[in-house]
Amino acid sequence: MTDQQDFAVVERPDWLEALARRGTRSSTKGSPLPSYPERAARIRTLIKALVIRDGFEAQAVIVRNISLNGMGIASRVLRPRTGEMLRIRLPGQHELYAEVRWAGEDAFGVLLSRRLDLAGVQAACRRRNSPLLDAVEKRLRDDVPPSAMRAGRRFT
């Protein structure tokens, strides 16, 4: 039996089957490679949020990235299932409803039921982080050497 025949007999793993069933992205005609849906642009963040699941206590999570229609979320405790519906509370935002689209060991991605106000989220982050940013800018203006900043010295 040749290697090609061996490959044809072996079943494909579930993850490979899932990739084969995905939707299509505009592709070159006649291309042997599968095509995939366009992925929305992501904005990297580090936002503390609360996730609420029916029948469970609210859990603190970190939102690692956001897009108009979704979020990437990190959590060492929360293990939602694909397809599960969640409520998410971001600082300065209304409660958001979301469906878990994928779940890994310590992270998961959600599709939001309505578009996220990206400008509002970014503005809230700037307001929340402004004391830290002001301190960094002051140190940069005062020309504090990087070695002094790494040593943990405090300058006022």
Give me the residue spans of the domains in the chain.
Answer: 43-118
Chain-wide mean pLDDT for the chain?
Answer: 77
Q: Answer with the residue of higher pLDDT: 154 or 148.
A: 148
What is the value of pTM for the model shown? Answer: 0.60
Selecting from 3.30.470.20, 3.30.499.10, 2.40.10.430, 3.90.1310.10, what CATH number does the domain 43-118 have? 2.40.10.430
Task: Give the span between the Cα atoms of 122 and 114, in whole angstroms.
Answer: 17
DSSP classification of residue 26: -
pLDDT tens digit sequence for 73-103: 999 999 999 999 999 998 877 789 999 999 9
In the numeric block, which tokens belong to residue 133?
């940013």
